[in-house]
A and B are shown apart, each in its own frame.
Chain A
Amino acid sequence: MDIFGVPIQALMGQLMLGIVNGSFYAVLSLGLAIIFGVLKIVNFAHGAFFMLGAFTAFLLAQHLGANYWTTLLVAPLAVALFGMLFEWLFLRRLYGLDPIYGLLLTFSLVLVLEGGFRVAFGSSGQPFATPEALRGTLNLGFMILPMYRGFVIVAALLVCLVTWFVIERTSLGANLRAATERAELTQAFGINVPRLVTLTYGVGVGLAAFAGVLAAPIFHVNPSMGSSLVIIIFAVVVIGGLGSIMGAIVTGLGLGVVEGFTRVFYSEFSSTIVFLVMVLVLLLRPAGLFGREEG
């Protein structure tokens, strides 16, 4: 059976690959959505933190001989710490101002990080080996999937669900949500709101770095690997509905699939389709697919 001249089996394969890509989008947009929800800042450096994660993993493996599983844990933590330092030193001076200043500051950070890495490591990038244990392939019947890609889906979704659970179902998450809605009142209850905010930024940035480490073996590790990603990720968050955690995850996966099919039917348009979707969604459903309609 064919759909527009493409065998259904091939489409199943593309669907699968779309889900793999969607997993990256889901982790990245989840981080961006959390940061925007709490800090009200568009973290333009999200792509740069993605790159930072991949590079940190590369450096750990290269110079300290760390194995992949260690880097998958350590690199996001290291990047999260760096992000928290950045928040604590600079970003917090801009709270309460027009969000455009936060955007500008994080954009400047992109220039510094990408420029700095290009000075240090050149522009053409580094090879990064797929971990030994995940080198095989999985026969799914309709396609042969490299095992690592399968692992990406599992790892990404696991991290997304844990993050969602912490925010929506634990007391830490409850405090966070309270701080988002009524910062002063939450502070009055004895909760250290600024620390909570710093932590949030760390988690968001750490998620970006986690996606970066996941990406390192299959995408090319180079200083500009995240630079065209940030506007797509932000579009995903907006389509999902600002402030909706689940929206970011589901939309990330969905857009990965949409993009995947576009690569089959109108490949040239595949990096633009997300923007077409965004215009349509915003005009038809102002608060995004999963957002709550507000005044």
Chain B
Amino acid sequence: MQLRSLTWPLLIIGLLALLAVPFFPQLVYSVFIMKTLCFVLFACAFNLLLGHTGILSFGHAAFFGSGAYVTGQLVKAYGVPTELGILAGGLVAALLGAVIGALAIRRSGIYLAMITLAISQLVFFFFLQAPFTGAEDGLQRIPRGTFLGVIDLNNDTALYYVVLGIVGAGLWVVWRTVNSPFGQVMRAIREHEPRAISLGYPVARYKVLVFALSAGLSGIAGSLKAIIFQLAALYDVHWHTSGDVILMTLLGGMNTVFGPAVGAAIVSTLNHYLDPFGAWVTVIIGVVFMTCVLMFRQGVVGELGKLLASRRPPTAPPDTTPHASARADSHH
């Protein structure tokens, strides 16, 4: 519980820092933070499946990229207002998530992951072939437009607060979901699926719902990225992006709600600030990941929680969160 007592102060400090970002352009670049925020939402949404329901999807790029392309095309070619475009991106991704989820959950474990990977490759092929995506050139020059018809998103600062608001809302949805009766069922499925079934929960329906929710939020993350950079590109639907989000989640800690957010921030930061190392950058990132998986297996947030717990005097109650940091160890 120790980490939890720190959660609120940390969140408030984090939020204040995020609100202040546009005031310090020389210190940190707001467009970089916006991009990071998209991945934060993507990773936390992905973790609804991995960390909280125990389902590994290896095809989440399909949702992220679909969101980006749908929003981009609607806004660019059909002049749809930006906020509706983002909403549509999320909805299409959610729908796709429900369909892929319904197929994938007929299997479990590694087979499930492979089905999601395979279908996401088919989605990739679709976007590669579809004439409007411009293949490797990408869907370029998507207009940012205005938000709700009043806020001019061409202004980076205005866009920043809109992105912050939408990502914040998305994270709130994740947090609410995890801490709701619905989230309880998700954990029950993760810990012991047969028991959840015997308790009478329609497990399959729950899984499809989580899939759709996770996909929808991932789609919104992709949509936001399309608006920020005014482009949607093949990399967004490539399996590398599916791999990236797994990585972020594990680095941050999959047994926590906001660990993946920290993981996303770490990966973005590594990618952003390692340029001076030139060709060595890939090697360095590889070594960092290797170190993390060998030494901080609970992820940064998970390890932090463990560290805080061990520092407390023994009078403090033991870790009572049933899920936190239990999963990886339970296999021993």
Say whether A associates with B. Answer: yes
The answer to whether the Cβ of A93 comes within 8 Å of any Cβ in the partner chain is: yes
Residues of chain A lying within 8 A (CB to CB) of residue B294: 90, 93-94, 105
Q: Is the CB of A111 within 8 A of B283?
A: yes
Residues of chain B lying within 8 A (CB to CB) of residue A101: 250, 293, 297, 328
Residues of chain A lying within 8 A (CB to CB) of residue B285: 111, 115
Among the stretches A163-171, A193-201, A250-258, A273-281, the one at the interface with B is A273-281
The answer to whether the Cβ of A242 comes within 8 Å of any Cβ in the partner chain is: yes
Q: Is the CB of A100 within 8 A of B246?
A: yes
CA gap between A116 and B121 in the complex, in Å: 28
Q: Is the CB of A109 within 8 A of B279?
A: no
Q: Which residue in B125, B246, B247, B290 is a CB contact (below 8 Å) of A90?
A: B290
The answer to whether the Cβ of A16 comes within 8 Å of any Cβ in the partner chain is: no
CA gap between A94 and B329 in the complex, in Å: 11
Among the stretches B14-22, B108-116, B175-183, B211-219, the one at the interface with A is B108-116
Q: Is the CB of B331 within 8 A of A235?
A: no
The answer to whether the Cβ of A190 comes within 8 Å of any Cβ in the partner chain is: no
Q: Is the CB of A111 within 8 A of B286?
A: yes
CA gap between A279 and B104 in the complex, in Å: 9
Main secondary structure of the interface of B (DSSP, over half): helix
The answer to whether the Cβ of B310 comes within 8 Å of any Cβ in the partner chain is: no
The answer to whether the Cβ of A99 comes within 8 Å of any Cβ in the partner chain is: yes
- CB-CB nearest in chain A for B329: A97
The answer to whether the Cβ of A231 comes within 8 Å of any Cβ in the partner chain is: yes
The answer to whether the Cβ of B243 comes within 8 Å of any Cβ in the partner chain is: yes
B interface footprint on A257-295 (CB within 8 Å = 1, 0 otherwise): 000000000001100100110110011001000000000
Given A104-B247, A108-B290, A116 and B122 contact (CB-CB distance below 8 Å):
no
- CB-CB nearest in chain B for A291: B111
Q: Is the CB of A275 within 8 A of B290?
A: no
The answer to whether the Cβ of A10 comes within 8 Å of any Cβ in the partner chain is: no
The answer to whether the Cβ of A82 comes within 8 Å of any Cβ in the partner chain is: no
Q: Which residue in B103, B246, B286 is a CB contact (below 8 Å) of A279?
A: B103
The answer to whether the Cβ of B289 comes within 8 Å of any Cβ in the partner chain is: yes
Q: Is the CB of B279 within 8 A of A118?
A: yes
Q: Is the CB of A282 within 8 A of B110?
A: no
- CB-CB nearest in chain A for B239: A231
Given A115-B282, A116-B283, A235-B118, A99 and B290 contact (CB-CB distance below 8 Å):
no
Residues of chain A lying within 8 A (CB to CB) of residue B103: 279, 283
- CB-CB nearest in chain A for B286: A111
The answer to whether the Cβ of B309 comes within 8 Å of any Cβ in the partner chain is: no
- CB-CB nearest in chain A for B287: A112
Residues of chain A lying within 8 A (CB to CB) of residue B118: 235, 275-276, 278-279, 282
CA gap between A99 and B250 in the complex, in Å: 12
Q: Is the CB of B328 within 8 A of A119?
A: no
CA gap between A104 and B250 in the complex, in Å: 9
- CB-CB nearest in chain B for A103: B246
The answer to whether the Cβ of A98 comes within 8 Å of any Cβ in the partner chain is: yes
The answer to whether the Cβ of B192 comes within 8 Å of any Cβ in the partner chain is: no
Main secondary structure of the interface of A (DSSP, over half): helix
Given A93-B294, A100-B56, A107-B289, A119 and B129 contact (CB-CB distance below 8 Å):
no
Q: Is the CB of B107 within 8 A of A108?
A: no
The answer to whether the Cβ of B281 comes within 8 Å of any Cβ in the partner chain is: yes
A interface footprint on B129-140 (CB within 8 Å = 1, 0 otherwise): 100000000000
The answer to whether the Cβ of A238 comes within 8 Å of any Cβ in the partner chain is: yes
Q: Is the CB of B332 within 8 A of A119?
A: no
- CB-CB nearest in chain A for B331: A96
- CB-CB nearest in chain A for B249: A100
Q: Is the CB of B327 within 8 A of A98?
A: yes
The answer to whether the Cβ of A205 comes within 8 Å of any Cβ in the partner chain is: no
A interface footprint on B238-280 (CB within 8 Å = 1, 0 otherwise): 0100010011001000000000000000000000000000011
Q: Which residue in B117, B243, B279, B328 is a CB contact (below 8 Å) of A115?
A: B279
Q: Is the CB of B293 within 8 A of A104?
A: yes
Q: Is the CB of B115 within 8 A of A279?
A: yes
Q: Is the CB of B297 within 8 A of A279?
A: no
The answer to whether the Cβ of A49 comes within 8 Å of any Cβ in the partner chain is: no
CA gap between A104 and B251 in the complex, in Å: 10
Q: Which residue in B111, B121, B247, B290 is a CB contact (below 8 Å) of A109?
A: B290
Q: Is the CB of A111 within 8 A of B289?
A: yes
The answer to whether the Cβ of B106 comes within 8 Å of any Cβ in the partner chain is: yes
- CB-CB nearest in chain B for A113: B286
Could you tell me the distance in whole angstroms from the C-beta of A113 to the nearest C-beta in chain B?
8
CA gap between A283 and B106 in the complex, in Å: 8
CA gap between A182 and B286 in the complex, in Å: 34
Given A238-B114, A275-B122, A109 and B239 contact (CB-CB distance below 8 Å):
no
The answer to whether the Cβ of A87 comes within 8 Å of any Cβ in the partner chain is: no
Interface residues of B in 137-178 (CB under 8 A from A): none
Interface residues of A in 55-100 (CB under 8 A from B): 90, 93-94, 96-100
Q: Is the CB of B119 within 8 A of A279?
A: yes
Q: Is the CB of B286 within 8 A of A115?
A: yes
Residue among B107, B114, B117, B282 facing the most chain A CB atoms (10 A cut-off)? B114
Q: Which residues of A contact B (CB under 8 A)?
A: 42, 90, 93-94, 96-101, 103-105, 107-112, 114-116, 118-119, 231, 234-235, 238, 242, 268-269, 272, 275-276, 278-279, 282-283, 286
Q: Which residues of B contact A (CB under 8 A)?
A: 56, 103, 106-107, 110-111, 114-115, 117-119, 121-122, 124-125, 129, 239, 243, 246-247, 250, 279-283, 285-287, 289-290, 293-294, 297, 327-328, 331-332
* Contacts A107-B243, A112-B283, A115-B286 supplied; 17 other A-B pairs, CB < 8 Å: A97-B297, A97-B331, A98-B327, A98-B328, A99-B110, A100-B56, A101-B250, A101-B297, A101-B328, A108-B287, A108-B290, A108-B293, A231-B121, A235-B114, A282-B107, A282-B115, A286-B111
Closest 4 CB pairs between A and B?
A: A115-B282, A111-B286, A112-B286, A275-B118
